[in-house]
Structure 1
């Protein structure tokens, strides 16, 4: 069944928490988009570090070439650091108590020092053996939902990058994605199963470029949607998760269809 929606934007980043890239297409696997969230930061206790408590990551972008194993980090036109990536000690990371992933600490301590200086405390760069997605490999958000949030905030627009969703789609009523829990979706050449709502954290209150808290997203969401249950507990929910049933390529402009034969 056609739902009158199309893929509007795709968002990935090789290092979790850094500025997003917006490619024209992605290759989607059971672990999410190829190349997305390959790296992340942990503190000395092994706790994952996000943008929520580390505004020093704002405005920083990473590029990774898996063939040469070279990572480059930039801010605007300035190259902050570039170099080879070599894995060393294997670590197991707890992702919010919902799953564990195996990763490798990056051998060269220069990377740890660099990111420690950015965030203002000691952290380590690690490379996931698969993907460091949070709860499910795919997240979905409608542009109509973001427009409704802007209306509630009495703003002309809200920058949807602050929600860091893999797939944004246009068309349909606000929060249409909430109705997809358990439904099978055809998106481009991939097939997804819609999941539950995404509980938002304080990272969404920060400007993606500056790191400044400039929009009280959590208060706004709960003011008109209330507090809702999610896999991470009750809170402000915005957007939904999805699992990958059949891998495939997804392009900006692809139609999204709900299967009626399942």
Structure 2
């Protein structure tokens, strides 16, 4: 079916992350993934799905050491560990308001805001009627993170090279680097058609030592269009997705999707180079 060609972890939600050669998949997803977030006084979790409010987070990079210490690299290259009193001050200056880095999710699920995109399939049509304009001038919708976590929905996310190649063929000038879509696993699928991962939903996949079950296509927001490190901004990225792959998701209508969310059936270690094979009986 394919081979693991890259592994990515994002210790701080909505910051750039780190590339790994191996990773432990736990019952809650990749070990060390989205275990902290930037919070503000309104109770909102920092998410670049609302770029006007939280976009500068993508100028930072987060990583986690073996002892679970989170380090944030700021735009000027300064590295500061979580808990350093200067880190919250620097992040507050970057965002223009007081914020804190926290590894404790808000009780009952923190507030998550997302900008309403101008392309079809960016959010369910039913939510467009509930959108409002906030103090940044952006039209947004609001929801909640899963209680006890900083995740929007799925805790493990996969994309395939076949899908990225299909999108690239529709927008040859675009850079469809997988990092734009912030996956945990990138699966090399030579010779397969685009969006092949949709056909894996409901099956079980053995990937390294872990057994995973694809659950649902991953609806995409504005984030893949944003500049991320050496990746330039490109609004046509998501317009291409919207024109090439709008599909029905969980009764929410036809949404623009790339990749799939996964459930963890059996935890285990996954390494770059591991094969992806189907497995019965899970």
TM-score, length-scaled by structure 1: 0.80
The answer as to whether partners of 2:215 and 2:260 remain within 8 angstroms in 1 is yes
**Which digits, 9 at most, give the CA deviation of each residue in 1:41-83, with x for residues without a partner?**
222221222123122123321233363x644322578225x24
Distance 1:134 1:158 in 2: 23
Distance 2:251 2:180 in 1: 21
Distance 1:215 1:249 in 2: 36
The answer as to whether partners of 2:5 and 2:273 remain within 8 angstroms in 1 is yes
Residue 182 of structure 2 corresponds to residue 164 of structure 1: yes
Distance 1:51 1:124 in 2: 16
> What does residue 36 of structure 2 align with?
39
Distance 1:213 1:156 in 2: 10
> What does residue 205 of structure 2 align with?
185
> What does residue 162 of structure 2 align with?
144
- State the superposition RMSD in angstroms: 2.5
The answer as to whether partners of 1:36 and 1:131 remain within 8 angstroms in 2 is no
Q: 1:57 to 1:84 in 2, by over 3 A?
A: closer
Give the number of equivalent residue pairs: 235
Residue 261 of structure 2 corresponds to residue 241 of structure 1: yes
Residue 206 of structure 2 corresponds to residue 207 of structure 1: no
> What does residue 119 of structure 1 align with?
95
Q: 1:230 to 1:120 in 2, by over 3 A?
A: farther
Q: 1:232 to 1:24 in 2, by over 3 A?
A: farther
1:26 to partner: Cα distance? 0.4
Distance 1:248 1:222 in 2: 35
Distance 2:260 2:198 in 1: 7
Aligned pairs for 1:99-114 (under 5 A) are: 110-114=86-90
**Which digits, 9 at most, give the CA deviation of each residue in 1:231-259, with x for residues without a partner?**
77642111110110100000011011112
| Structure 2: gaps (5+ residues) | 106-147
> What does residue 95 of structure 1 align with?
none
Distance 1:8 1:214 in 2: 24
Residue 10 of structure 2 corresponds to residue 13 of structure 1: yes
**Which digits, 9 at most, give the CA deviation of each residue in 1:201-247, with x for residues without a partner?**
11111121168632322211111223532477642111110110100
Distance 1:160 1:213 in 2: 14
Q: Which moved more, 1:163-172 or 1:232-241?
A: 232-241
TM-score, length-scaled by structure 2: 0.75
| Structure 1: gaps (5+ residues) | 86-107
Q: 1:227 to 1:167 in 2, by over 3 A?
A: same
Residue 71 of structure 2 corresponds to residue 55 of structure 1: no
